[in-house]
Each structure stands twice: as structure tokens, then as C-alpha cells.
Chain A
Amino acid sequence: MSLDTNFMAQVFKTAIAGVPVTLQIVLVALIVSLPIGFIFALVRIYRVKILSPLVRLYVSFVRGTPLIAQILIIYSAFPSFLATIIGKSAFSIDPINYAYIVFTLNSIATLTEVFRSALQTVDKGQLEAGLMVGMAPRQTFVRVILPQALVSALPNITNATLYLIKNSSLAFIMSVKDITAIAKTQAAFSYNFLEAYLVVWVYYLIIAYAAELLFWFLERYFSRFQRTTTAKSFNWHLFSFKQPTTTVAAVQYDPKKELVNHAHN
């Protein structure tokens, strides 16, 4: 068996049109889900009435179902639902919008857990220290707790982003013309599936690698205050992707660390 390198070069050229599509899905999902995930995490930590159990339900629902099922449900239910409101034009909406919705909803759940565990890793003693120098709980939260929580959230945000990049390849199911979809279509003409998939693989590798590098710079910049204890350098090897879900899932709910103990103050 030999690889048809001409065909690969051709796929490489045409699939590049899918790169902006993939990036768009990832960026839109990230930009929307970061703030919402953060707010949801606060809702959980401060046990906001009514909302907190709803967020919890939402998170467990999203995390407990396969992404592919979420995609199929949104893609089949949402257009008809929309049609009852805006009529038949609902069926001619660019499918990338459904990709935005699915991947955003999915990321919100992941990032809620990321922010929640990050906020709980900051020792609440520092909050008390803030109160004892006369600062309000909110001031201490914003100036002391939050910056540290964001730094400790960064590795897991990186992981969530890498997963998002890779998961976005499932957008082809919704007939979104992303990298995967374009390569698949081309391969279907000539049955050169292996070659097409190798090209897809390389594209995702490049994108994920670039994302990892970007986040590494962010991490390094924002964790200046811990420079001595964790002198991290970027791991230049390929295939070094962190295995995400473990760290997120391993953080168990620990009421002793709850910042909420001070809500009454």
C-alpha cells in the first residue's frame, strides 16, 4: 500500500478553507462560555437560591450525556422549534449556528466545573486576612482570591480548549463545512480515506499545538507570583497533550473550603 501524496497535497489545500470554520466554532464557544461558566461557578459556590440546583442539574445533564447525542438532539429539535417562531426560514439558517449552540452549551458545563474547583483551591485564610485588614469580602475576593483562582484555572481551561478543538470536528454531522467535513467530502470521490484523514489529523495537531503554546504564555504571564515554586517551561514535544477530564473530575466537593462560610459577614 502506498499513500497518494498528490491527493494529500490537494486535500491539504482545499481543507484549509475549513480552518477558519473550526477556529470560529472554537472561539465563539470559548468567548461565550468563559464568562457564563464563571458566573455559573459563582452561583454554585455561593449556593444562590433556586439557581444553584438548576446549574448543577444542567452541568450533570451535559456531562452525563455523549456529545454526539447532544449534537443530534440540538440539530434535529432546534430547527423545528425555531420554525414555530420564525416560520420556514428557520430551516435555511447556516448550520454553523447550531454548532455554536452545541459547543457553547457543552463548554459552559465544563468551564463551570473548572472555575468552581479553581475558586475552591484558593485557601480561604487569605479571605479572612483581607477582612482583618478591613477590606470588604467583595474587595478581597476581587483583588486576592479571583486572580489566584484564574491562574489555577488556566491549565484546565487549556485542556477544555483542546477538547473543544478536537470535538469541533463532530460539527460535520450538522453539515458544517469544517476541516473534517471538507476532507471527508473529497475522500468520498476517490475512496482515498486514509490520506484525507491523515491530513485532517495534521491540521488538528497544528491547531491544538498552537493553542497549547498560546495558553502556555498566558499561564506563564499570570503566574508570575509563583515563579519560584513552579518554574514551568513549555514542553516542545508533540503528543504532549494533557489528559483533561481527570483533573476536573477529580476535584470533589469539599464544604470546608467553601468561601460561602463568609457570606454572612
Chain B
Amino acid sequence: MLTIKNLTKSYGPQQILKGIDFQVNQGDVITLIGPSGSGKTTLLRTITTLEKGDGGTIDFAGVQGELAHLSKNDIRTIRQNVGFVFQNYNLFNNKTTLQNVTEGLVVAHKIPKAQAKTIALAALKKVGMADYVAHYPSQLSGGQAQRVGIARAIALKPQVIFFDEPTSALDPELVGEVLKVMRQLAEEGATMVVITHQMNFARNVANKVVFMADGQVVEAGSPADIFDHPQVPRTQQFLAEILSNV
């Protein structure tokens, strides 16, 4: 469904992504793990066109082309078919919970207001935020805000939803409510790519784990492969470090 080949990306003289191949199939729940600074965020941002790639190709939603030379139309197509959940939620601060979800539906997808509202309410109900439709982001807790962020993404029925450390900015006691929503989405068959340090989620919810280090995919496989039988020393070392911390 989504295929990335040989993606490269530099910031100035520093090469951040060094030729990445990445494949997402319908219904996949992929967790992307790896040390800080390994390029996970940059990978997601480049796939979703928030950053421009230097080299490599994308095949997604009918767009086939070089990431460095996407047309305006290609970019729009890609954006209209992905969802993105940000670490800092990035809710529209001047919009209510409901408006945060309807905004994209009405403005970008040209769905009539009444219908957009119905869709938005269903999405908010799914994340347990239906009682907060008139709240502004400044009135929500981090966990609530992130669940609105998820509702905003799923309301658009994207082919893939990307999550960039969706629980990292949350107080520990709020992490659970967000993970619960994500687990539920996965069970309903949503296609998801999740950067996370929540190893329980990676092990129990994902069907595929991708380990990145230094701008490269070091190892990829099923959770059992990666967690129980990592082949590459770099992976073993990372897992040993991160699992000893919990």
C-alpha cells in the first residue's frame, strides 16, 4: 500500500537518512523503535511530505515518483491520505474540540458541515472525548488533547496513520488512556505506523517492529523476532538498554 525505496535526507552537511526502504501493508501496525536522533521522526516527516526528501521514491495512493520532485498535486494527494498524530498534539488552539476535528473535513475534504459534524462526533466518541466538544485545547489535559489529536486524524479515514511518540509528552498516569485508544484502533484494523518507546505496545499490539539506528533500518521483523531473537548486535544492545530501564 505504501512503499518507500532508498530514501535519503540530509540537513546541511549531515546525512540523517541513509537509504531507507520502508513498506506498509494494509492493516499493518508497525512500531518504529531506535535511539534518539536515529532519524525516526525525520523518516515519518519525509514520507508525509512535511519535509522534502533528497532522494528515493514513493508509491502510495496512486502517486509514484521521486520524493525530491513531487508535484503540488502529488503532495496534496499524499497529505489527504495520511493521518499524523504529533508528540505535542498540535491542536488548533483557537478551535474547539469539535472544530479541531471538523476543520479538515470541511475545509480540505469539502464535506458538508452537518455531515462533518456527524463524522467528528463519531470519531470523538471512539476516543472517549464526546463530552468535551465545546472545550478549547487550553482546557484539556494532555491525555485528552492527544485523544482529540487522534480523533482528528481518524475522522479523515486516512489509509495510514503516523504517530510520532504520541505518549512522550504525557504525564505517566495519562499514557494509559492514549495507548488504550491506539490499541482499540489497531484491533479495528487501522493501518498504523508508530514511533514509540512503549515496548509493551511494540511487543503486544504491533505485527511488525522496525529498529532504526544512525539513519538506517538495522533490523525489522515480527515482535517475537526482534524482542526474543534479535540478530544484529546493535539491536541487542538497544533492547538491553531500554528494557533495563523499566
Tell me the residues in window 108-152 of chain A with beta carbons closer than 8 Å to chain B beta carbons: 123, 125-126, 128-136, 139, 143-144, 147-148, 151
CB of B52 within 8 A of chain A?
yes
- Whether B103 and A133, one on each chain, are in contact in the complex, defined by CB atoms closer than 8 angstroms, is yes
Measured CA separation A82–B149 after assembly (Å): 59
Instruction: Name the residue on B nearest A127 (C-beta).
Output: B90
Across the interface, A134 reaches (CB within 8 A) one of B50, B52, B76, B95, namely B76
By a CB distance below 8 angstroms, the chain A residues around B138 are 225-229
- Whether A226 and B136, one on each chain, are in contact in the complex, defined by CB atoms closer than 8 angstroms, is yes
Range class of the A interface residue count = 20 to 34
By a CB distance below 8 angstroms, the chain B residues around A147 are 94
Tell me the residues in window 50-101 of chain B with beta carbons closer than 8 Å to chain A beta carbons: 50, 52, 75-76, 79-80, 82-84, 86, 88, 90-96
By a CB distance below 8 angstroms, the chain A residues around B92 are 126, 129-130, 143-144
- Whether B93 and A126, one on each chain, are in contact in the complex, defined by CB atoms closer than 8 angstroms, is yes
Most buried by A among B48, B79, B156: B79
- Whether A129 and B84, one on each chain, are in contact in the complex, defined by CB atoms closer than 8 angstroms, is yes
Most buried by A among B52, B104, B152, B156: B104
| Known contacts A132-B79, A135-B108, A228-B136; A125/B94 CB under 8 A | no
Question: In the complex, how many residue pairs between chain A and chain B have their CB atoms under 8 Å apart?
Answer: 85
Most buried by B among A129, A130, A135, A227: A129
CB of A233 within 8 A of chain B?
no
By a CB distance below 8 angstroms, the chain B residues around A126 are 90-93
Q: Mark A235-262, 1 if CB is under 8 A from B, else 0.
A: 0000000000000000000000000000
CB of A232 within 8 A of chain B?
no
CB of B118 within 8 A of chain A?
no
CB of A49 within 8 A of chain B?
no
Measured CA separation A132–B89 after assembly (Å): 12
Measured CA separation A132–B109 after assembly (Å): 12
- Whether B93 and A131, one on each chain, are in contact in the complex, defined by CB atoms closer than 8 angstroms, is no
Q: Min CB distance, A140 to chain B, in Å?
A: 9
Say what secondary structure dominates the interface of chain A.
Answer: helix
Tell me the residues in window 188-228 of chain A with beta carbons closer than 8 Å to chain B beta carbons: 225-228
Q: Mark B97-118, 1 if CB is under 8 A from A, else 0.
A: 0000001110111000000000
- Whether A226 and B90, one on each chain, are in contact in the complex, defined by CB atoms closer than 8 angstroms, is no
| Known contacts A144-B95, A225-B93; A133/B152 CB under 8 A | yes
CB of B139 within 8 A of chain A?
yes
Most buried by B among A123, A226, A265: A265
Q: Min CB distance, B57 to chain A, in Å?
A: 19
Across the interface, B84 reaches (CB within 8 A) one of A132, A225, A226, namely A132
Nearest first, the 6 closest Cβ-Cβ pairs linking A and B are A133-B104, A134-B108, A132-B84, A125-B90, A129-B90, A134-B80
- B-side residues, CB < 8 A to A, are 48-50, 52, 75-76, 79-80, 82-84, 86, 88, 90-96, 103-105, 107-109, 136-139, 152-153, 156
27 A-B pairs within 8 Å (CB atoms) are namely A123-B90, A125-B88, A126-B91, A128-B90, A129-B84, A129-B90, A130-B92, A130-B103, A130-B104, A131-B50, A131-B79, A132-B83, A133-B103, A133-B156, A134-B109, A134-B156, A139-B108, A143-B103, A144-B92, A148-B93, A151-B94, A225-B95, A225-B96, A225-B136, A226-B136, A229-B138, A265-B49
- A-side residues, CB < 8 A to B, are 123, 125-126, 128-136, 139, 143-144, 147-148, 151, 225-229, 264-265
Other A-B pairs beyond A133-B103, A139-B108, 14, CB < 8 Å: A125-B88, A129-B86, A130-B104, A132-B82, A132-B84, A133-B152, A133-B153, A134-B80, A134-B156, A135-B108, A147-B94, A225-B136, A226-B138, A265-B49
